[in-house]
Amino acid sequence: MFFDRVEVEFQAGKGGDGCMSFRREKYVPKGGPDGGDGGRGGSIILEARLGVNSLAQFATRKFFRADKGGFGMGALRHGKNGRDLHLYVPCGTSIIDVEDGFVIKDLTQVGDQFTICRGGRGGHGNARFKTAQNQAPRERELGQPGETRHVIMELKSIADVGLIGKPNAGKSTLLSRISSARPEIADYPFTTKYPNLGIVDVDAERSFVLADIPGLIEGASEGIGLGHEFLRHVERAGLLVHLIEPTPMDGSDPIENYAAIRDELQHYDETLADRDELVVLTKCELDSDNSVQQSLQAYFDEHPANHSRELRAISAAADIGLQGLVNEIMERVTRRREEMLEAGITPTPIRQDDAPVTPKKNRRVPPHKAAATEGLSNEVQPQDVQGASTLSDTGKVVPGERRERSS
């Protein structure tokens, strides 16, 4: 199953209660209050990660709660802080408030983090209430409850390019020919029921992400067919590739089909209808006399207002025009990425290798693990050698300068 919209409740951990205690010790009369504070409750943190592709982990579990903080204890001992709960979501996840419907946060970049619920503060122990006037306070605070949030998480895939068109137009076939994605392909409508993403490598340095969504039909905005809800997966795409087949199985007119999808886009979101669009006639080997191509081009020339004026013809079966189409898409994607960079928006990396690396903490490594220990002897021990754990060019420990041991 593919999950792109889930409803979940999050609850951060409760803070630990403060402690009421007095110091009781032999020869220490009137030891005074020594109740420690409670620990902080764990928070819930959502993080966008490459490699997480769906919201499936939230579909089977509807409620997430972080650890609570530990109680404060006598002898001024602080309660243990609750552990934060880190949950990973795909890049492109929007967090929406269920009650008011506003977007709380959009996690679009790799490594974007958001604390959706903060843990409760731990209560103060009675030692905190000690004053000159009240030297034996019996009050203490209870820990505060953690925040609770009821949200909808919606995945809007991060793709550079969205493939749209009527069912059977050849969207999945095109995706499978130019990327390593293997979507289901068959000669009946609505073969694709969930969106498929594929990475298209144009050359060693340049690639883009292509999203194939289920076919759209007239009335999709009213829920006919699979509806238009999958259009959200191309909402973030800067370029739409609109596929038209020349000889639809149901005998419909390709031009009417094109206009119907444009209407559906308009109904769904006007900004999507204004998006950069590339119109592609698929299965062009079936349009042997080019009649469909010419009539479509004539239609675009007649209605230049909101249509793309250019028409390309491809055939996935006969391998016609695929490379040209890929180059054209890459050019437009590169142009858009440059515009995004100029506007201060970093395009989302496609692969793990491109993602920014978070530096690891520098841990002290024992000398026997840091390097070969052949350079050491009974006389020369790691503690006698400065920089013993550095490697020489040969991969052996450099004995370095001898240090005088302080006696």
Ligand X SMILES: Nc1nc2c(ncn2[C@@H]2O[C@H](COP(=O)(O)OP(=O)(O)OP(=O)(O)O)[C@@H](O)[C@H]2O)c(=O)[nH]1
Residue 195 is labelled as binding a ligand: no
Residue 169 is labelled as binding a ligand: yes
Binding to ligand X by residue 181, rule CB under 6 A?
no
- SS3 letters for 310-370? CEEECECCCCECHHHHHHHHHHHHHHHHHHHHHCCCCCCCCCHHHCCCCCCCCCCCCHHHH
Strand order in the sheet with 5-11: 63-65, 5-11, 148-155, 93-97, 103-107
Residue 156 is labelled as binding a ligand: no
Residue 159 is labelled as binding a ligand: no
Binding to ligand X by residue 173, rule CB under 6 A?
yes
Nearer to ligand X, 316 or 376 (CB): 316
* Count of CB atoms situated within 10 Å of the CB of 279: 20
Please give the angle made by the CA atoms of 301, 263 and 157, to the nearest 5 degrees. Answer: 110
Task: Please pick, from the candidates 44, 95, 164, 169, the single residue that binds ligand X as defined by CB under 6 A.
Answer: 169
Task: Please pick, from the candidates 52, 199, 286, 340, the single residue that binds ligand X as defined by CB under 6 A.
Answer: 286
Q: Are 166 and 248 in contact (CB under 8 A)?
A: yes
Residue 167 is labelled as binding a ligand: yes
Q: Which two tokens stand for residue 242?
A: 């609109």
CA nearest neighbour of 107 among 58, 62, 53, 49: 49
- DSSP 8-state secondary structure symbol assigned to residue 18: P
Stretch binding ligand X (CB under 6 A), from 114-122, 132-140, 270-278, 314-322: 314-322
Backbone φ and ψ of 163, nearest 5°: -95, 125
Among ligand X, Mg ion, none, residue 190 binds (CB under 5-8 Å by kind):
ligand X
Task: Please pick, from the candidates 53, 57, 115, 191, the single residue that binds ligand X as defined by CB under 6 A.
Answer: 191
Q: Which amino acid is at 177?
A: R
Task: Please pick, from the candidates 52, 76, 181, 185, the single residue that binds ligand X as defined by CB under 6 A.
Answer: 185
Q: Are 199 and 161 in contact (CB under 8 A)?
A: no
Binding to ligand X by residue 246, rule CB under 6 A?
no
Name which of residues 1 to 20 contact ligand X (CB under 6 A).
none
Name which of residues 136 to 165 contact ligand X (CB under 6 A).
165
Q: Are 91 and 36 in contact (CB under 8 A)?
A: no
C-alpha count within 13 angstroms, C-beta hemisphere, residue 34: 11
Binding to ligand X by residue 282, rule CB under 6 A?
yes
Percentage helix, strand, coil for the chain under 3-state DSSP, each rounded to 5: 20, 20, 55
Stretch binding ligand X (CB under 6 A), from 141-149, 169-177, 262-270, 334-342: 169-177
Binding to ligand X by residue 257, rule CB under 6 A?
no
Binding to ligand X by residue 224, rule CB under 6 A?
no
- The residues binding Mg ion (CB under 5 A) are 172, 191-192
Q: Are 387 and 399 in contact (CB under 8 A)?
A: no
Task: Please pick, from the candidates 16, 36, 120, 167, the single residue that binds ligand X as defined by CB under 6 A.
Answer: 167
Task: Please pick, from the candidates 283, 307, 332, 336, the single residue that binds ligand X as defined by CB under 6 A.
Answer: 283
Binding to ligand X by residue 315, rule CB under 6 A?
yes
Binding to ligand X by residue 168, rule CB under 6 A?
yes
Q: Closest approach of Cβ 215 to ligand X, in Å?
A: 3
CA nearest neighbour of 138 among 30, 34, 40, 24: 34
Q: Closest approach of Cβ 274 to ligand X, in Å?
A: 24
Q: Closest approach of Cβ 251 to ligand X, in Å?
A: 16
Residue 317 is labelled as binding a ligand: yes
Residue 230 is labelled as binding a ligand: no
Binding to ligand X by residue 293, rule CB under 6 A?
no
Nearer to Mg ion, 182 or 402 (CB): 182
- Residue 127 to residues 27, 76, 130, 131, Cα–Cα distance (Å): 20, 7, 6, 9
CA nearest neighbour of 139 among 149, 128, 148: 128
Distance CA 122, CA 401 (A): 51
Binding to ligand X by residue 179, rule CB under 6 A?
no
Q: Which residues are annotated as a binding site for Mg(2+)?
A: 172, 192
Q: Residues marked as binding for GTP? A: 165-172, 190-194, 212-215, 282-285, 315-317
Binding residues: 165-172, 190-194, 212-215, 282-285, 315-317
Q: Which residues bind ligand X (CB under 6 A)?
A: 165, 167-173, 185-187, 189-192, 214-215, 282-283, 286, 315-317
